[in-house]
Amino acid sequence: MTATLSEAGLTGTATSVSYRTLTERQKDVFHRALKAAAEATNVWHIKDIHEFTAAALDIDLPHNDELVECSCEGCPDGCDAIAPLTLCAEYLDGDTQRPQCPACADAHRITSD
């Protein structure tokens, strides 16, 4: 029997984490990583940064994916989930594409006008 995705899901990694549940060290890593990714000009370098950050945050990040912070406007106290971009829904806020995490997209998906 070959390994399946569901078996990988038993390793304890999550597909998203809430920012406020991170340790101070993880928050620090996350901020420094986002800054490094924003300043990086090489796309493979950026992917690496996201992959290392996901490992530090214990998030199960699909290969070549990126971590994003949920920018849902539908949550009463603001969502602070960090999730892989490909699992997020995206909506248009003016000209800007903003990600909505899987939980938010399920509960109250924002659709662009």
The footprint of Zn ion (CB under 5 A) covers 70, 72, 74-75, 79, 81, 101, 104
The CB-of-2 to Zn ion minimum distance in angstroms stands at: 33
Distance (Å, whole) CA 18 – CA 3: 28
The CB-of-108 to Zn ion minimum distance in angstroms stands at: 6
The CB-of-110 to Zn ion minimum distance in angstroms stands at: 8
Backbone angles phi, psi at 30, to 5 degrees: -60, -45
User: What are the angstrom distances between the C-alpha of 58 and each of 2, 26, 98?
Assistant: 24, 10, 23
Q: Which residue lies nearer to Zn ion by CB, 34 or 36?
A: 34
